[in-house]
Structure 1
Amino acid sequence: MKRLWILILLVIVLPECLLAQQRTEYNRKGDEAMKRQDYSDARMWYEEGISNCDSYSINQLTAIWKTNKKMRASMRSLMTKCLNCLTVKATDNDSTAVAQLIVYYNEGIGTPISEELASYWSDRLEELRKPVEPITYVPVQERKPREPMKFFAGYAFSIEAPYGLTVGGVGERFGWYARFRTNMSFNDYTNECKGTDEFISYPENSSMKFTNKKKVNCFAASAGLVIKCTPWLYTSIGLGYGKRELLCEFNTWDKNDINIANTYWAKNIDYSYEGVVADLDFMVKFGSIFVSAGCNTLNFKYVDLNAGLGLFF
């Protein structure tokens, strides 16, 4: 078993040791040539390291390029290889290689002078030298489940239409409602009047006189938007259709016989309206019970007050 482990170690480690020794050998011989100022021989030894993009070999070749202008003509292709090695290392965020690239592009080593590329790599070097900010873990907040819609229904009241019903529903923020109101009066009329009891037409062979009695035929239907302001306060606004007829009672007598008298109703056209209904209400919620108050207008000419009482379920 021990022999097997020794064999494995030799297979893995020995090639690495030989490669490291080879690398050290060409750099060592290159350094000896540099001491003798034999730059041609030094260049030859350091060139062996370029195939492996050896950083030390690149540094030494760069030093030879800078100090021996006579050798530059024979070193152009070699320095281009150095430039390619430095570009690969710089792409892997090697700050030393990035700094060398800046020198290469500023001085035209292995490439034409390029201020644009030198500036690019200078910016890149600044980014690499900035301290890395620690990543702060921010716990992801779990999204609250959406609040289900709650429905409501209740009694709707207004001064002239005291019988009504409101139904609707409210979700997390918005909702809807529908409402119908009436005074349960559907009296018919035979004549029309205007102003303060002024007849528009008179029946023939009869006398007419208004009494002080008045009635209203009234109904309204509307629907709209409910907005949840707070968990206990809501507001609603809506539009619909409505009708209000003001009826005035009058008596008639036959001119030939005053004992023959009849009672009728006339519609006052100046105080009767039909058309668009607009609602504005506020609802206050107490547990599952709500109380509402507001107002409505008919054709923006007649205003009535609203109230309501109901339940959420």
Structure 2
Amino acid sequence: MKRLWILILLVVALPGCLMAQQLTDYNKKGDEAMARKDYSDARMWYEEGVAQCDSYSIDRLTSIWKTNKQMRVSMRSLMTKCLNCLLQKAGADDTVAISQLIVYYTDGIGVSANEKMALNWHKRLETLRKPYVSHEERKPREPMKFFVGYAFSVEAPYGLTVGGVGERFGWYARFRTNMSFDDYSTECKGTGEIMPNPENQSYKFTNEKKVNCLAASAGLVVKCNSWLYTSVGLGYGKRELLYEYTTTDRNDSSKQNTYWAKHIDNSYEGVAADLDFMVRFGHIYVSAGCNTINFKYVDLNAGVGVFF
């Protein structure tokens, strides 16, 4: 227990003892001389600190220089030593030392007055006081580059894509269609049943089929590197699969007509989604990917275009 108390006492008292020892040397005696306005004696004690580049001693000697003009002649060499200490500390980016150097070069303390040097150290101080900015952050932001191109899919071969990409991200908008907008009169199911069933008529499907297809989407472009991009987007899409059929009047077989029916099991309308990759070759790009409607029907995408 006794040892524990001794240890605690050392931990608490040791910093105070060290501080007291520092103050009882040249700095404390210099402060005592300053208190009684004996500046010659104070200069002598603070001069011991200059030999160790003591910042406190240098600061006190600078105060004596400023307030006691009659002592400046005897202090010139001493202030030059202070200047050398400040230069050494400033080389290690000591902002307090740099602030003092600005005063030294402005007022001509320990050196001839030099406004250019004072300005240089002032700029250095401002640089150190500003938050550090990395090389990447200092680089100018890359301007957005726009692109336009032809968009193709298996069932919608006519399309247009436009967009823009900045340093990392961008946008795009796309429209595709197969230029088919044919109407239909009825609907049918996979079993071959027409709804509603023609009255007093028999019907028969031909082998003719066609598709009405269109889609519009927009989304995000991500720049993976200088030549590879990926894009993902959402929008609206519609795919109508039409079957051709003929009807014959049960009472007069010469009366025949041809109609189109929408196959409801293979027709979709709703949310369209795109996923594409773009590879850039200079100002030219090619793309490939896929699209879906309601996540039930999938078609393949392709495209080619230019950046400008």
Q: TM-score, normalised by structure 2?
A: 0.58
Deviates more, 1:249-258 or 1:195-204: 195-204
Tell me, yes or no, if structure 1 residue 135 matches structure 2 residue 130: no
Task: Tell me which residue corresponds to 2:292.
Answer: 297
AA at the equivalent of 1:172: E
Greater C-alpha radius of gyration: 1
Task: Tell me which residue corresponds to 1:309.
Answer: 304
Change beyond 3 A, Cα 1:49–1:303: closer
Deviation of residue 145 (structure 1)? 2.1
| Structure 2: unaligned runs, 5 residues or longer | 1-31, 43-54, 58-88, 94-123
Deviation of residue 228 (structure 1)? 0.8
Task: Tell me which residue corresponds to 1:250.
Answer: 245
Task: Tell me which residue corresponds to 2:149.
Answer: 154
Deviation of residue 146 (structure 1)? 1.8
Task: Tell me which residue corresponds to 1:225.
Answer: 220
CA RMSD of aligned residues (A): 3.0
Cα distance between partner residues in 2 of 1:238 and 1:52: 81
Is this contact kept in 1: 2:186–2:262, CA < 8 A?
A: yes
Cα distance between partner residues in 1 of 2:141 and 2:188: 57
Any idea what SS the aligned residue of 2:180 has? Answer: coil
Cα distance between partner residues in 2 of 1:55 and 1:170: 72
Task: Tell me which residue corresponds to 1:261.
Answer: 256
Task: Tell me which residue corresponds to 1:113.
Answer: none
Task: Tell me which residue corresponds to 2:189.
Answer: 194
Task: Tell me which residue corresponds to 2:158.
Answer: 163
Task: Tell me which residue corresponds to 2:274.
Answer: 279
AA at the equivalent of 2:237: G
Task: Tell me which residue corresponds to 1:52.
Answer: 37
Any idea what SS the aligned residue of 2:265 has? Answer: coil
Which residue among 159, 171, 174 is the counterpart of 2:169?
174
Any idea what SS the aligned residue of 1:270 has? Answer: helix
Alignment of 1:98-113 (within 5 A): none
Is this contact kept in 1: 2:187–2:195, CA < 8 A?
A: yes
Is this contact kept in 2: 1:197–1:248, CA < 8 A?
A: no
Over the matched positions of the two proteins, sequence identity in percent amounts to: 71
Any idea what SS the aligned residue of 1:230 has? Answer: coil
Task: Tell me which residue corresponds to 2:62.
Answer: none
Change beyond 3 A, Cα 1:238–1:49: closer
Cα distance between partner residues in 2 of 1:156 and 1:265: 29
| Structure 1: unaligned runs, 5 residues or longer | 1-46, 58-91, 95-131
Deviates more, 1:215-224 or 1:195-204: 195-204
AA at the equivalent of 1:279: D
Is this contact kept in 2: 1:185–1:216, CA < 8 A?
A: yes
Cα distance between partner residues in 2 of 1:49 and 1:184: 97
Report the number of matched residues.
Answer: 199
Structure 1, residues 21-71: CA drift from partner, whole Å, max 9, x if none?
A: xxxxxxxxxxxxxxxxxxxxxxxxxx99862378989xxxxxxxxxxxxxx
